[in-house]
Structure 1
Amino acid sequence: MSAEVTSEKSQVRSAVAARRRGRSAVSRAAVAEAIALHAPSVAALVRARRVAAYLSLPSEPGTEPLLAWLTGLGIEVLVPRSRPDRSMEWVRYAPGEVVVGGLGVPEPTGPDLGPDALASCDVAVVPALAVDHAGVRLGRGAGYYDRALEGFGGVVCALVHDDELLPSLPHEPHDRPVDLVLTPAGLFRPSRDRDL
C-alpha cells in the first residue's frame, strides 16, 4: 500500500465521517426509506433467492427498510458478525435478534452459518463511505469486506448518500469494485472504462 494512497483514503474517510456526523435523525430516516424505495429497480435483488446485507450503523445509510422489503419478498437475508481474526461469519437475518458487538457494530444473534455462506448469495449489499464512478468502494479501512468479497461471484451493491458518489477515489489493485450503487436518488451503474 503506497503512503500517498493511504493518506488520500484517510482524508476522504475523515471528510465523509464529518458530513455523516452532521446529518439529522430525520434526514437519516428519509435516506433509509428512499434507498428502500429504489431497491425494486435493482433486478438482481428482485430475482435473488438469498442476499447478503448488513445491519447499519447510525451514521450509515440505514438498511432496516431495505431488509424489511427483502424479507417481505420472501428473500432469505444473511447479515455478518465479525470474528476475532477480522473475518466475518454469516447469520440469517431476523428482525429484533440483534446486539451491539465488540466493535460497536450491530450484529445478529442467530446461529453461525460460517464465512462460506456468502458464496451462496446472489447479491451482496455492502456498506461504503464513498464509491466512485468506476465502482471503487472506500470502506472504513479494516478490510473486512475486501477479504469477504474475494472470489465472490454474485452482484455487489454499495449503499451511500448522494454526496458520497464521487467522480474518482484513490484505490489499490486489491480494492474490488462494486457492480451497483444505491443512493437516495436512485440506482447508479459504475462505468468500467478505467483500469482498476
Structure 2
Amino acid sequence: MTDEPGNLKRALRAELRERRRIRTSTERTQASEALTRHLVQLAADLDVGFLAAYLSTPDEPDTRDFLRWAAERGIRILLPVSREDGLLDWAPYDGEDEERDILGMPTPTSELLGPIAINGVDLILVPAACVARDGMRMGWGRGYFDKTLGSMEGCPPVYAVIFDDELVDSVPTERHDMPVDGVVTPSGITSFAVA
C-alpha cells in the first residue's frame, strides 16, 4: 500500500513553507492589515462573544492584531496548547506573556484548561497550510485540529486563516482530514457549502 496522499501532502507543505518564508516584510504588513479587517468583519457578522483562535508564528498570516481587537471588546478568547497525546488543551488569551508548547508553538501563560473548554465557542479560527475551494483543509501534518474538530458535537463555524495563494483548487486528503466552513485571507472572507 502506498502513502500517496501523505507523500503529496509532504511535498506541498514544503513548497508552502518556502513560499511563506520568502514573503517580504511589506507583503506581510499589507496582509496583516487586510486580514485583521476581514477577521473583525467575520466576528461582527457571526456576533462572536466567545472565540477559539491561535497565536500566529512569524511566517503565518497574522492573528495577533485581531486577537488584541477582540480582547479589547470583551470577546472571550481561548488559545490552543499542544499535548503529548495529540489533543489540545486550551488557555484564555490575556495578551500578556507567552511561552512555547511541546511543538514550539506560541501559547499563553494563563491558566491551562482541558480539551472540552472549547465547547460553547461561537467561532474557531484554525491555522492551515492551504485550503481547497471545497473546504478541505490541509494542516501541517500533526492532526491536532483535525482531532479537535472531529470530536466536537455541535461544532461552531470553523474558518482557516491563510494567504490568498493558499486557497487552491484541491488538496490531497486522508480519512481523518476535516473540512472548514470558510477561509479568511487578505482579499476577504470565503465561505463554503460544507456537507
Q: One fold, TM greater than 0.5?
A: yes
**Does structure 1 residue 116 correspond to structure 2 residue 95?**
no
C-alpha displacement of 1:72: 2.4
Deviations 1:142-179 (A, max 9, x none): 11111111233111010000000001111123211000
**Does structure 1 residue 167 correspond to structure 2 residue 169?**
yes
Percent sequence identity is 38
Q: How does 1:29-48 map to 2 (within 5 A)?
A: 29-42=29-42, 46-48=46-48
Q: For structure 2, which runs of at least 5 residues remain unmatched after alignment?
A: none
- Give structure 1 regions of 4+ aligned residues with deviation exceeding 3 angstroms: 43-46
Aligned residues: 193
State the alpha-carbon separation in 2 of the partners of residues 45 and 75 from structure 1. Answer: 14
State the alpha-carbon separation in 2 of the partners of residues 125 and 134 from structure 1. Answer: 18
For the Cα contact (< 8 Å) 1:44–1:122, is it kept in 2?
Answer: no
**Partner of 1:91: helix, strand, or coil?**
strand
Q: Are residues 127 and 183 of structure 1, via their aligned partners in 2, closer, same or farther at CA, if it must alter by over 3 Å?
A: same
Q: Which residue of 2 aligns with 1:134?
A: 134
Deviations 1:75-131 (A, max 9, x none): 100001111212111011011221123322111111112110111211110000100
Q: For structure 1, which runs of at least 5 residues remain unmatched after alignment?
A: none
State the alpha-carbon separation in 1 of the partners of residues 149 and 45 from structure 2. Answer: 17
Q: Which residue of 1 aligns with 2:179?
A: 177
C-alpha displacement of 1:74: 1.4
State the alpha-carbon separation in 2 of the partners of residues 186 and 147 from structure 1. Answer: 27
C-alpha RMSD over aligned residues: 1.8
For the Cα contact (< 8 Å) 1:130–1:165, is it kept in 2?
Answer: yes
State the alpha-carbon separation in 1 of the partners of residues 45 and 6 from structure 2. Answer: 33
**Partner of 1:42: helix, strand, or coil?**
helix
State the alpha-carbon separation in 1 of the partners of residues 16 and 174 from structure 2. Answer: 19
For the Cα contact (< 8 Å) 1:44–1:155, is it kept in 2?
Answer: no
State the alpha-carbon separation in 2 of the partners of residues 88 and 189 from structure 1. Answer: 25
Q: Are residues 85 and 41 of structure 1, via their aligned partners in 2, closer, same or farther at CA, if it must alter by over 3 Å?
A: same
Q: Which residue of 2 aligns with 1:20?
A: 20
**Partner of 1:71: helix, strand, or coil?**
helix
State the alpha-carbon separation in 2 of the partners of residues 163 and 128 from structure 1. Answer: 12
State the alpha-carbon separation in 1 of the partners of residues 96 and 86 from structure 2. Answer: 25
Q: Are residues 89 and 45 of structure 1, via their aligned partners in 2, closer, same or farther at CA, if it must alter by over 3 Å?
A: farther
State the alpha-carbon separation in 1 of the partners of residues 6 and 106 from structure 2. Answer: 27
State the alpha-carbon separation in 1 of the partners of residues 74 and 2 from structure 2. Answer: 45
State the alpha-carbon separation in 2 of the partners of residues 156 and 20 from structure 1. Answer: 22
Deviations 1:20-42 (A, max 9, x none): 11012332232122111112332
